[in-house]
Amino acid sequence: MKYIFALLLLVVISTAATAQIIGSKKAHAFPSLEVASFADTIKNKNVILVDVRTPQEFAEGHIEGAINVMWGKTFDDNLQRAKLDKTKIIAVYCRGGRRSKMAGDRLIEKGYKVVDLDGGIAAWQKEGGAVVTK
C-alpha cells in the first residue's frame, strides 16, 4: 500500500510540474508595455525605436521613426551595423511580440536597456496607432 501511495504521489507531483512548465511564459529581463505606455515611451529623446521584422514587413508599414534591425541568424551582425547607443533605451517591436522578445533578450545580453511593445505592431494598429511606409 505504501508503494502505491508513493507512486501516486510521484505521478501527481510530476504532472503538476509539467503543467507549470508548459503553462508558464518565459520571464524576460525587460518590461513589455501596453500600446499607450509604449507610445509615451518612444516620444522620449533617449529612446531608439527598433523594428525587428524583415525588411519587407518593415517597408509594408512601421512606426514612424523606427529603424529596421531584423531578428534572425544575422541579428548580431545587423545590430553591429546599426550602431545603437547603449546609453539609450531600445524600444523594440515586431508583428506580434515573439521576435521582439527574443531580440530583447539578446539586446539585454549585449548590455542594452530594453522595453518591448506588448502584442507588437498588430496591437499598435488595433489601438489606432499610425504606421508609415517606405
**Catalytic site positions:** 94
CA distance 95 to 1: 55
Residue 90 carries which side chain, given as an amino acid letter? Answer: I
CB distance 69 to 50 below 8 Å: yes
Q: In the block, which residue shows the cell 545603437?
A: 84
Radius of gyration of the chain (CA): 20
Instruction: Determine how many CB atoms are found less than 10 A away from the CB of residue 77.
Output: 12
- What number of CA atoms fall less than 13 Å from residue 125's CA on the CB side? 13
